[in-house]
Amino acid sequence: MRSVGTLTRADLADVIHRKVGLSRAESLDMVEGILGHMCDAMSEGENVKISGFGTFLLRDKGERVGRNPKTGIEVPITPRRVMTFRASKMLKDKVSGL
What's the farthest any 2 CA atoms get from each other in the chain? 59
Question: What is the distance between the alpha carbons of residues 70 and 66, in angstroms, rounded to a whole number?
Answer: 12
Rounded to whole angstroms, what are the CA distances from 37 to 46, 67, 98?
11, 38, 32
Q: Tell me the chain's radius of gyration from C-alpha atoms.
A: 19
Q: Provide the 3-class DSSP secondary structure of residue 19.
A: helix
Domain ranges of the chain: 1-44, 47-98
Q: pLDDT 10s per residue in the chain (98 long)?
A: 555 689 999 999 999 999 999 999 999 999 999 999 999 999 999 999 999 999 999 999 999 999 999 999 999 999 999 999 999 999 999 999 86
Classify domain 47-98 by CATH architecture. Irregular (4.10)
